[in-house]
């Protein structure tokens, strides 16, 4: 079954902690993306990767970090430097970099407690 898997679905973090959100795809897609969605807001780009071992900052990268060591995996770490991390995080992938439609995982809802 091809697709994009995000885990966990719900995540609770204490203030000052780093947490890592997982994103795995078996679609053989080159490009992967992380978006953040807040209530009533559109999707804002955090980081993206066009190819293994390469990634670029999006519009709101501060307080986040990523890695792309394998084509299938693009984990996102939310660090303690991110001041308002409570949000819905969406991972997506596309067949090639930048010129094809993107498909989304089911999302991770992060709450700071």
Partner 1 sequence: QKEVEQNSGPLSVPEGAIASLNCTYSDRGSQSFFWYRQYSGKSPELIMFIYSNGDKEDGRFTAQLNKASQYVSLLIRDSQPSDSATYLCAVLSGNTPLVFGKGTRLSVIA
Query: Is-contact 111 13, C-beta < 8 A?
Result: yes
* Omega prior to 54 cis, within 30 of 0: no
Q: How many residues does the chain have?
A: 113
**From 33, 55, 64, 74, residue interacting with partner 1 (rule: CB under 8 A):** 33
Interface segment toward partner 1; rule CB under 8 A; list 20-28, 62-70, 71-79, 98-106: 98-106
Nearer to partner 1, 15 or 99 (CB): 99
Q: Cβ of residue 46: shortest distance to partner 1, in angstroms?
A: 10
Residue 2 binds partner 1, judged by CB under 8 A: no
Residue 90's φ and ψ, nearest 5 degrees, are -120, 130
């Amino acid at each position: 079954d091809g697709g994009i898997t995000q885990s966990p679905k719900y995540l609770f973090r204490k203030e000052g902690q780093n947490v890592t959100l997982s994103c795995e795809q078996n679609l053989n897609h080159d490009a992967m993306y992380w978006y953040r969605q807040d209530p009533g807001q559109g999707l804002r780009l955090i980081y993206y990767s066009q190819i293994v071992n390469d990634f670029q900052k999006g519009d709101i990268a501060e307080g986040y970090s990523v890695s792309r060591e394998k084509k299938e995996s693009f984990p996102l770490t939310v660090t303690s430097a991110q001041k308002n991390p409570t949000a819905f995080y969406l991972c997506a992938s596309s067949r090639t970099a930048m010129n094809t439609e993107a498909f989304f995982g089911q999302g991770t809802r992060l709450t700071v407690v």
